[in-house]
Amino acid sequence: MTRTTTLPALALAAVLALAGCGNGQEAETPATGGASPAADATPTGSTPTANTSTGSAPASEAAAEISGEHNDADVMFAQMMIPHHEQAVQMSEILLGKDGVPQDVRDLAERVAQTQEPEIEQMQAMLTAWDAPATPDESATAHGGHGSGMVDEQGMNWLREAEEGPEAAGLYLEQMIRHHEGATEMARDQVEEGSNPEAVELAGEIVEAQESEIEEMRTMLEELDRP
């Protein structure tokens, strides 16, 4: 009897032990699940650093795609053309903020801004690739004719204060024609004197595009019905 009684008892003990093991494993599951947020906390905490790197990646990648070959003319071209383009974008935004501007002039202003903004980024990437400063020194500025075709502050104020409609459109066209003429002059110099293939190619594209826009703007100006 003792032997018969002992075996069921042992069997029961084994079942209870297995049940206990099962419960122990289930109990560990929440602990494992609870560890996930803690484990995830570290990457989350480091996310800003990762995002910062990602944010700078486009500029770094753009610079990496630019040939390191360059000379002083290449550097001066980028340093001078960046603020020149920035002003063209600013002038276009001023005009686009006014009502009553003829649609063809408005379309031109939008095109100028959309074309020149990526060119600014491209030239900034060039300076980064060449480890060159963003602005030229005074001697280089004087020698290179920095600001060719640029509108002075008084001219910018005239554009800001111009009456909406044809008056503002006419002033914008007059200023932008001179502005484009200055840009094409600088770009031609770059084509002749630059050595970086990407910078020379960009300069050629600027000459071609802006010479066409100059003729377009002259026609618009002739046809504009101003008071």
Structural domains counted in the chain: 2
Paired tokens of 165: 């409609």
Q: What is the DSSP letter of 227?
A: -
CB 105 within 8 Å of CB 95: yes
Paired tokens of 24: 């122990």
Paired tokens of 97: 């903020």
CB 197 within 8 Å of CB 74: no
Paired tokens of 145: 């004719």
Q: Are residues 39 and 75 in the same domain?
A: no
Q: Are residues 49 and 118 in the same domain?
A: no
Q: Are residues 51 and 140 in the same domain?
A: no
pLDDT at res. 43: 37
**Distance (Å, whole) CA 117 – CA 222:** 28
Range of the domain at 38: 1-64
Q: Among residues 64, 88, 114, which one ends one of the domains?
A: 64
pLDDT at res. 67: 87
Q: Are residues 133 and 217 in the same domain?
A: yes
Q: Among residues 15, 34, 64, which one ends one of the domains?
A: 64
165: left (phi over 0), alpha (psi -120 to 50) or beta: left
Q: How many CB atoms lie within 10 A of CB 167?
A: 16
pLDDT at res. 32: 42
pLDDT at res. 147: 55
Q: Are residues 26 and 126 in the same domain?
A: no
Tens-of-pLDDT digits for all 227 residues of the chain?
444 444 344 333 443 343 444 444 444 444 444 444 333 333 333 333 333 333 345 555 666 689 889 999 999 999 999 999 999 999 999 999 999 999 999 999 999 999 999 999 999 999 999 999 999 876 555 544 445 899 999 999 999 999 999 999 999 999 999 999 999 999 999 999 999 999 999 999 999 999 999 999 999 999 998 87
Question: Closest Cα to residue 191, out of 73, 69, 68?
Answer: 73
Q: Are residues 117 and 192 in the same domain?
A: yes
- In sign, the C-alpha dihedral spanning 180, 182, 183, 184 is positive
